[in-house]
Structure 1
């Protein structure tokens, strides 16, 4: 048997926590000396301690931990539950990282207020382009709603194109359409040079030409695009134009290599009122 200090060192927890787990009935010692009150533990109790700490670190309350431990789940059941929780935590980390990037992008936009560069904005006609595309609905045009919708569309579209033997004829092109309320139709497209066909597991559509578009090149993740959009907005207003609809996003270089080197051209249709 091990005294409480040795057991704490073996289990990589504090003596204070062991006393607390004893007090709440989660991990009582195997033996308590009646004269001294010293607590003693056995090596087999490390198994319960491992489960207790793992469940607690995964965000369960001590009462929830008690329920799980008292149900005496098998190793397979416990592993499955912990694996699921681990996946949830990883997804939360990714969501938090994305949120942090959006906050940083907003801060950069705030820092550049009143001094947004407009030199890189080019007004030009945009020719019609044929794309293969998949469509889904996002709850809104906010980045936290668009990202989780459009990101899985592209791998699925590419897989379907490969099955159909359809190759790329140019860059990816994402377009958006308003629908009910705040919802937005998200079209994930890739430039192709094939005729529409019922045998395809995707649409083939022609995006119409834009007679005049304000365009700007954005470098980096689309999570960081806020300041770039606002630069275009500043230019459009300053030059007396009206914006028509959502921007087209043309992914000239995206998804591979250093995200700082990713290149997206934003194309916003404009007209004179």
Structure 2
């Protein structure tokens, strides 16, 4: 019989870990002194301890380790568990490689510009929201063509929504689509978020549900949208340097819009997919 210290030393684990394994029923001592509470182990139990350590190193949880050791799954079941673990590890490696690519891209930017970029891009999903919207057409997607169209659209939309007694429940959103003429012009859609209970079928404005977006590269722009080209270009560089491709026009989510446009805060949200 080996006392807990010697058993821990032979198994290359800590005494604290052995006590934990005992507490969860994963590896119980061969004998516990009823008076002192001292734990003793048989040398043969080292084989089970070694299997515990080996399975843990493969990334299995202690509950999964206990299942493998106690329930003795069939070969097919064990292969299934190992394939699942392989898939989990592959996904983790892919995620780490993506993070590494973003770090390297940021490092290149810092090295070329001499300082930390002020543009931070975050990739995230966008949920579905219900909006009231009006549409118009701009000559191009350039800020100087968008601004004269989007401003009056939002003013008219807000007037109509308020006149209908409908409350805005979230930030305004601007969206864009290719115009049917395909001459470089774009359809401009000014939207305000409304409650899910608001129904469509209105003549004064449309009520639609914006489809969720699985992945969008997002960046926060501060100031007038006439000066948004720097943010747009930073977003495009991130998408190109991090293995993404654009999947459509960016949305603009207006987070703060004081009278002085220099104080505007707008999140650009561009749908993306992996190349």
Normalised TM-score (structure 2): 0.55
Distance in 1 of aligned mates of 2:120 and 2:223: 16
For residues 112-261 of structure 1, what are the structure 2 equivalents within 5 Å?
115=113, 117=117, 120-179=120-179, 180=181, 181-193=183-195, 194-254=197-257, 256-261=258-263
SS in 2 for 1:151: helix
**In structure 2, how many angstroms separate the alpha carbons of the residues matched to 1:224 and 1:195?**
35
Shift of 1:178: 0.6
Measure the CA separation in 2 of the matches of 1:177 and 1:224.
21
1:118, 1:235 within 8 Å by CA — same for their partners in 2?
Answer: no
Query: 1:259: Cα distance to partner?
Result: 2.5
Contiguous gaps of at least 5 residues in structure 1 = 1-111
Judge conservation of contact 1:177–1:185 (CA < 8 Å) in 2. Answer: yes
CA RMSD of aligned residues (A): 2.0
Aligned partners of 2:201 and 2:207 also within 8 Å: no
Corresponding position of 1:268: 270
Measure how far apart 1:183 and its partner are: 1.1
Contact 1:117 1:231 in 2 (8 A): no
The 8 Å contact of residues 119 and 220 in structure 2, kept in 1 or not, is answered as no
**Within 2, Cα distance between the matches of 1:259 and 1:149?**
16
Q: Is the 8 A contact 1:118 1:232 kept in 2?
A: no
Instruction: Find the structure with the greater CA-based Rg.
Output: 2
Distance 1:197 1:239 in 2: 40
Segments of 5+ residues of structure 2 without an aligned counterpart are 1-109
Please give the secondary structure, in 2, of the residue aligned with 1:245.
coil
Shift of 1:118: 6.9
Return the alpha-carbon distance in structure 2 between the equivalents of residues 252 and 150 of structure 1. 16
- The answer (yes or no) to whether the contact 1:243–1:269 under 8 Å persists in 2 is yes
Alpha-carbon distance between aligned partners in 2 of 1:259 and 1:144, rounded to the nearest angstrom = 15
Question: C-alpha separation between the residues in 2 aligned to 1:156 and 1:119?
Answer: 32
Tell me the secondary structure at the aligned position of residue 159 of structure 1.
Answer: helix
- Alpha-carbon distance between aligned partners in 2 of 1:252 and 1:172, rounded to the nearest angstrom: 8
Q: Secondary structure at the match of 1:169?
A: strand
Corresponding residue pairs, total: 161
Q: 1:130 deviation in Å?
A: 1.0
- The CA deviation at 1:257 is 4.0
